[in-house]
Structure 1
């Protein structure tokens, strides 16, 4: 993947298939650094769902595969997808409760509390296989890899995607609290890096996997493990991107930061939309950063994004 090249895809009915967590974000009404807030509000959450919804708004075709509970929260999430114009035919229903992430807002770094349930019950199904076969890009994160049977489903997806020459995007958002006691989640995640075509760790992700180090050294560690294209995001300092032969620094396009929730998902969406629409790798990266900067101006993980071409014009790309 050279920076001046356009990514090539076989013609398919769908552009992007995201697979993984669809869950409830339970966020406190007030700030409390001791995680003792007395009031919380439920919001739809889950990175794969955010990316799929964003991608459609930007003008490409997307689908989301996930598992939610046969409960009120599951119904709430399905209704949210319908309201956003996203399909629900790949959303499985499980006997377990819909998964929750509880976050008490903090002026320091908030510490999430995870309540896993239905999200880990995702199964490989004929419907999922058909969706995989008819999509150009397959995207997933660490969430479904951290628990069974969802891990088995993702492993099947990976095998099928590689066999059919699909592009694979992997978000290595490792968090130790998601993994079972006694399992070396770090080592398992490292084995996935060589399979992925595109990997986008944040500085925090890199530190959880490799320990503290400079951005340049962290980037090199991902490459040595076999990642093809590594996008190491550095917050206000932009990003370092390497294809193993060339490394480039990208400046942030964010000038007005109102809410950071979902900024990474917005980047993925803009990058995928740019790649699908035929922009070069460098242009697709710039578009990803532009979409992320647009989202940062608004509150919420998913905002009312305009078409990709409109964002391109707004940021003079």
Structure 2
């Protein structure tokens, strides 16, 4: 049985080309906040997650709508733009399973999100229990749209809404590091649940220890969330460390969506009323399984708790 969405994930969903064999690519649907939306929807139920983006009216946009609907994600907040197309990216893997990306997204419909006359506005998210977005969500929209979203976020939080944010930093998406740093810093100031990766924070704000990153987030007003450290496991923003039980070594097939899936496991646990420690364990466990599959989204039949 479907229900009204509790959480809206904002960003860009794209066509993904991922290696299937040395000669063939597999067609998928992915994007950082979309990946989180998929794994969230699998955990908290059909219709409980909405995705907020803009797509075109072409066949690939229809394919994306079909994919997100099949995952139980509500499509009501997807803006359809005539004569527009979605972005596309290709994954390249090194021998260790670490990924790099090539993008074709400069004409993506998502770049006009919250900007088009008569299009979506942040006010349409009023009433959601939680909003989730990333620095990539901010990078792909216009400066005016970022201002509109930031101004709305302040009132949304005063009305009792919660914002979860991941400073997922991709330098090529920003005009310069100063702009990225400014935007991420001001969105930290309206964040309730922070889900940064240590390496992103260090790249964006300069070399820093874990303690310095946590202190800076506290100074920005953030009190909840976790700092991701890859295989070392996350650290809660209160400084507590997840104690990792010994596990069989899992080969890294593809590290795509490791952080995105951690975010989904973490947020799903929080929405279920679990503690931060339990949420970190859920996120880490999910990410550990995702990196054992090719592409951002592992098959539904294999997506079962360990």
Does TM-score exceed 0.5, indicating one fold?
A: yes
- What band does the TM-score fall into relative to the shorter chain? 0.7 to 0.9
Q: How far, CA to CA, are the matches of 2:233 and 2:101 in structure 1?
A: 25
Residue segments in structure 2 that go unaligned for 5+ positions in a row: none
> What does 1:49-198 correspond to in 2, within 5 Å?
49-60=34-45, 61-94=48-81, 95-107=83-95, 110-114=99-103, 115-116=105-106, 117-123=108-114, 129-130=123-124, 132-146=125-139, 147-148=141-142, 150-180=145-175, 184-198=179-193
SS of equivalent residue, structure 2 residue 241: strand
Q: How many positions carry a matched residue from both structures? A: 290
Q: How far, CA to CA, are the matches of 2:79 and 2:199 in structure 1?
A: 31
Misfit runs of 4+, over 3 Å: 26-31, 38-42, 107-111, 124-130, 251-255, 296-300, 304-308
SS of equivalent residue, structure 2 residue 133: strand
Q: Is it true that 1:206 corresponds to 2:195 in the alignment?
A: no
Using the size of structure 2 for normalisation, the TM-score is: 0.82
Structure with larger RCO (C-alpha < 8 A, sep 6+): 1
SS of equivalent residue, structure 1 residue 135: coil
Q: How far, CA to CA, are the matches of 2:213 and 2:66 in structure 1?
A: 40
Q: Is it true that 1:249 corresponds to 2:238 in the alignment?
A: no
Q: Deviations over 1:34-93 (max 9, x none)?
A: xxxx97544211122222221221134211111122223212211211222322221112
Q: How far, CA to CA, are the matches of 2:20 and 2:298 in structure 1?
A: 20
> What does 1:250-265 correspond to in 2, within 5 Å?
250-252=242-244, 255-257=249-251, 258-265=253-260
Q: Deviations over 1:187-233 (max 9, x none)?
A: 22112112101111112211221223333333333333332224211
Q: What is the Cα-based RMSD across aligned positions, in Å?
A: 3.0
Q: How far, CA to CA, are the matches of 1:181 and 1:260 in structure 2?
A: 26
